[in-house]
Amino acid sequence: MQNTLTDEQQNFMAIALGERTGMDVNPKDIKIIGKWLFHNDPDIDDVDVYELPLSMCAEAWDGCKLEASPFGTNDPETLQATITKLES
């Protein structure tokens, strides 16, 4: 279910998100599923979710609990439930 990004793509997306949010984004703290970018900021309890493509001034579309994100699980059913919730 998860998109696999090359290291170069991972770095590009981290820079793009950082430029649009003003945050320092570590490439290991982002994952993409379909049109959704998940950002696991270690300073925040929840995972922020952004819709792709990122707007010039990106704001989180929604958030989810770590255990329902691609950082907390690889279970396809759990991840699909998260995506379904985002798209509803």
Give the pLDDT confidence of 15-40 residue by residue, as tens digits.
999 999 999 999 999 999 999 999 99
- Decide if pLDDT at 2 tops 70: no
Delimit the domains of the chain by residue range.
7-87
pLDDT tens-digit readout, 38-62: 999 888 889 999 999 999 989 999 9
Q: Are 29 and 44 in contact (CB under 8 A)?
A: no
Q: What are phi and psi of 59, to 5 degrees?
A: -125, 145
